[in-house]
Amino acid sequence: MAGGRLKYRHLNRSSAHRQALLRNLVTSLFEHETISTTWHKAKEAQRLAEKLVTLGKKNTEASKLRAHQIFYSPHKLVPKLFGPIRERYLTRDGGYTRVLRVEPLKDDQAPSAILELVDGPKDMRFAMTARTIARQRKEGQEMNEMTKRNIEKVVRYRKNGEKELEDMVQKMSKLEFPPRDNSKTDERRWGGTV
């Protein structure tokens, strides 16, 4: 059979352009700890980011040299990779990044996603779980199985995870979210009329 399965996404780019794109995405990811991009780019950048965290956990001269070759701003990011990021993921065996699908961000309706480092200060699942717990407590609801499973996931590898989650729940309970008023829109999916 000619061809066969692809081992990676080509992203409609030449090899050099694709490598530059992925290096740029991974540099931005480690700089900001979360990025928004298309889903396909996020899945490919996730592969490279996981390999970089594994290099950071090895902490050898060869791994530092390899990280220098990948990052576009190595003097700023290599110490971060081999310092706080390495410490954060020492006990974790894998799954250092997470890809969350979101609504399309661009006009061409390309599937979009958020790529983030887990257990970091901008962890989306951590914040969403805290918001859910705050809402359920406010409404006097029992905690369901999905929320219990998410709590277990977000505090598992975090130092002082339960205390941090409770602090975040307290912050979320103080926030006021106004009800959505979608009567001004012409779109059906947002509650308006056409």
Query: For 73-100, what is each residue's pLDDT tens digit?
Result: 999 999 999 999 999 999 999 999 999 9
Residue 191 has pLDDT above 50, yes or no: no
Q: Which string of b and e fits 57-81 if b means at least 16 CB within 10 Å?
A: beeeeebbeebeebbeebeebbeeb
Q: What is the pLDDT of residues 31-73, one digit of tens each?
A: 999 999 999 999 999 999 999 999 999 999 999 999 999 999 9
Averaged pLDDT score across all residues of the chain? 88
pTM: 0.81
Q: Distance (Å, rounded) from C-alpha 63 to C-alpha 82?
A: 10
Q: Could you read off the pLDDT of 134-177 as tens digits, one per residue? A: 999 999 999 999 999 999 999 998 888 899 999 999 999 888 76
pLDDT at site 183: 55
